[in-house]
Every structure is written in structure tokens, then in C-alpha cells.
Amino acid sequence: MKHFALFSSLVLSPSWIAYGFANPLACSGACNNAHDPSLIQRDSDGTYFRFSTGGKVAIHTAPSAQGPWTYQGAAIPACSSIQLAGNCDLWAPDVQKVGDTYYLYYSVSSFGVQNSAIGVATSTTLNSGSWTDLGSTGIQSDSGSNYNAIDGNLIAVGEKYYLSFGSFWADLFQVEMANPPKKMASGATRTPLAFNGTGTHAVEGAYVFQQGGYYYLFFSSGQCCGFDASKPAAGEEYKIMVCRSENATGGFVDNNGRPCTENGGTLVLGSHGWVYGPGGQGVYDDAELGPILYYHYVDTRVGYADGQKQFGINKIDFSSGWPVV
Ligand SMILES: *[C@@H]1O[C@H](CO)[C@@H](O)[C@H](O)[C@H]1NC(C)=O
Ligand SMILES: *[C@@H]1O[C@H](CO)[C@@H](O)[C@H](O)[C@H]1NC(C)=O
């Protein structure tokens, strides 16, 4: 069966031969306005919700992960109560369900500075207008920090909750959260997850996903934005990397056994064909499609501006023990 599957994918998808990556699955409706997406399905009626950077956390809904997507409004229309610059321009949402409540983690920051905080809001319906902003989780950074408190992602491990976060400086960290996960646990310390000491330390957007016997740490590496103004050298644009561990809380290595804290990382999805700079990813175990990687990317046939970025989805094949799209 395995050989047959490989054979048919070679025959049916020329892009596999040319680039090693499948094209994104078709998306319909509002597939732009998709920067740093977070995807979740509402349990009560199966509606898909997509949250994204900008527009005070824009909300789109659809009957399937592939659309058709419709804009619904802002999650936090009155701005965050966190008193930092950027509290009306919220970044990188991550939405997870804990018990009967949906938790939305968001970042308050300004481009290139470390005066940042990860905030949280809660809702029981996911709808626009239903979110209660609880302000800061206590995960904050300033110019004296070796990290940037942005790009939060929550994972539950038994009775415990952990928030992975970070961007640039010493890159990715994780802290234990209280239960329920509205604040960091008192006295929690930061554990390093990933660090790329070469180049500009452009590692961000952690997403930890459990599959089989492993936890997979997905992250984005390289220049994220502003491709319409300037593009980096080929290969230095955003791309999606992964490390894995038996533990959700550390010990992540790439497929050569190199620790993620020592420049490690295995490429999951990079630029190919008309797809450029994919990143800001998450992983969702979809009822119909199975595990999917979702992300934003530049469709070079549409345009390179941040506002033109498209919502991409690929099925993930974990059968080798590593995610392949
Ligand atoms: C996972 O955690 C356990 C318990 O802390 C530890 O013994 C083990 O070495 C860890 N495994 C990895 C791959 O880090
Ligand atoms: C680390 O940074 C270098 C230089 O920017 C880049 O080429 C490489 O892909 C990065 N690796 C990871 C795992 O992020």
C-alpha cells in the first residue's frame, strides 16, 4: 500500500517531482487577510473559525477548512487592555479549547521592539462580540529581555498547560501556565525550545502538536514580511521547520538529531512554484482531511504585500515519523 501511495503521488502530482511539496489545497471565499492564522472548529455545530493578525484579530468562518470563508468581525474590537504600544494592532492569535471555554492568546507589540506582552481573551462560542479580554498572561518582555513575548501557542499535557512563545533574540521559549490557563503559573521559569544562532535569529511562531509518540515543534524561520518592499536572498524568506521530542516541554531535535536549541530544524514547507514565504503556521487534526498544516503564504500570481497573503492548507503525512506535505 505504501509503495502504491508513493507511486500514485508521483504520477498524479508533477509538483512533487519539481519541488518536493504539494500545492496548497483549494481555498474559496475570503482566503486573504490570513496573516498568522489560527484554525479551530466549533464543537456545537462544526463551523470552522479562522483568526488572524490585524483588524483587532479578524475572524472568518466557513463550513469547511477550505471555505468558503466569510468575514465576521473582530475578536477584540475595543483594543487590548494591556497598556503597551500596539494594543490596537494585535498579532498572531492562537485559539484552543480548554473545558467548555475557548482561549485566544494574542500578542501586543510593535515591529522590531521587545516591549511586548501575550494577552488572553475567552469565549464559549468563538463568535465576534463574545470575547472577554482578560489582559496580560504575565508573559511580558522589555528591552532587557533575551526574548520577545509574542506568538503564544498553548498545549495541554495531562492536567498541565504550557505556552510556547517567542521571536528573535534567543528565539523560542515555553512556560507552564496556571490551570485554567489565564496566567503563567506562579514562579514558572522559561525553558528554551529553539535557537538559531546563525544569521538574524529569525525564528518565531512556535506550534506544538502531538502525533503518535511524539510532540512536534513547528516554527517559522526567516524574513516574514514586507516582500513587496524588499526580498531577502533566496532561501532566507519565511519557511516552516520542525523538530520533535517525546516530551512537550523540551528535548526537541531535527531529523539529523541536532537539537533545536543548537540551530536544528528540518524543513517542512518552503517556497515552491507560485508559493513564496509560507509561515505563521499551525496544525489541526481535521475530521475530514486528517492532520493539516495551515499557514499564510504569498501567491506570486496575486502579489507580495502582507495584506495579499493567502490562507494555505496541506495534508500532513506523519507515516515516516516526520511531517511531510
Ligand atoms: C522526557 O522527559 C523525561 C522525564 O523528565 C526524561 O527522562 C527524558 O529524558 C525526556 N526525553 C527527551 C527526549 O528529552
Ligand atoms: C538558521 O538561520 C540561517 C541564516 O539565516 C538560515 O539559513 C537557516 O535556514 C536557519 N535554520 C533554522 C533551523 O531556522
Percentage above 70 pLDDT, the chain: 94
Q: Are strands 48-52 and 38-41 parallel, antiparallel or unpaired?
A: antiparallel
Active site residues: 36, 204
Nearest atom, ligand 2, residue 222 CA: 5
Model confidence band, residue 179 (pLDDT cutoffs 50, 70, 90): very high
In angstroms, the Cα distances linking 244 to 2, 32, 213, 220, 303 are 23, 30, 10, 15, 34
Nearest atom, ligand 2, residue 235 CA: 7
H/E run at residue 8? helix 2-12
- Reported as a single tens digit per residue, the pLDDT across 76-99 is 999 999 999 999 999 999 999 999
Contact 36, 281 (CB under 8 A): no
Give the distance (Å) from ligand 1 centre to CA of residue 284. 25
| Nearest ligand by distance to the CA of 202 | 2
Average pLDDT (258-265) is 98
Tell me the CA end-to-end span of the chain in Å, nearest whole number.
Answer: 18
| Domain coordinates in residue numbering, the chain | 14-315
Q: Is the CB of 246 under 6 A from ligand 1?
A: yes
Question: Which of 193, 216, 243, 246, when mutated, tests ligand 1's pocket best, judged by the most ligand atoms within 8 Å of its CB?
Answer: 246
Strand order in the sheet with 214-221: 203-211, 214-221, 239-245, 266-269
Q: Whose CA is nearest to atom 14 of ligand 1?
A: 251
Q: Whose CA is nearest to atom 1 of ligand 2?
A: 196
**What per-residue confidence (pLDDT) applies to 112?**
83
Q: Is the CB of 261 under 6 A from ligand 2?
A: no
Q: Is the CB of 249 under 6 A from ligand 1?
A: no
pLDDT at residue 36 is higher than 60? yes
Domain 14-315 annotated CATH 2.115.10.20? yes
Q: How far apart are CA 269 and CA 293, in angstroms?
A: 9
Nearest atom, ligand 1, residue 247 CA: 1
Q: Indicate the residue type of 230.
A: S
Q: Whose CA is nearest to atom 7 of ligand 1?
A: 247
SS3 content of the chain, % helix, strand, coil (to 5): 5, 45, 50
Nearest atom, ligand 1, residue 253 CA: 13
Residue 276, beta-bridge partner list: 298
Model confidence band, residue 216 (pLDDT cutoffs 50, 70, 90): very high
Q: Are strands 91-98 and 101-108 parallel, antiparallel or unpaired?
A: antiparallel
Q: Is the CB of 259 under 6 A from ligand 2?
A: no
Q: Is the CB of 198 under 6 A from ligand 2?
A: yes
Average pLDDT, the chain: 94
pTM of the model: 0.93
**What per-residue confidence (pLDDT) applies to 12?**
44
* Cis bond upstream, residue 68 (ω within 30): yes
**What per-residue confidence (pLDDT) applies to 178?**
98
Residue 185 carries which DSSP code? P
Model confidence band, residue 111 (pLDDT cutoffs 50, 70, 90): confident
Give the distance (Å) from ligand 2 centre to CA of residue 304. 22
* Residues in CB range of 59: below 8 A, 6 or more apart: 49, 50, 51, 71, 72, 73, 74, 75, 126, 127, 128
Residue 291, beta-bridge partner list: 285
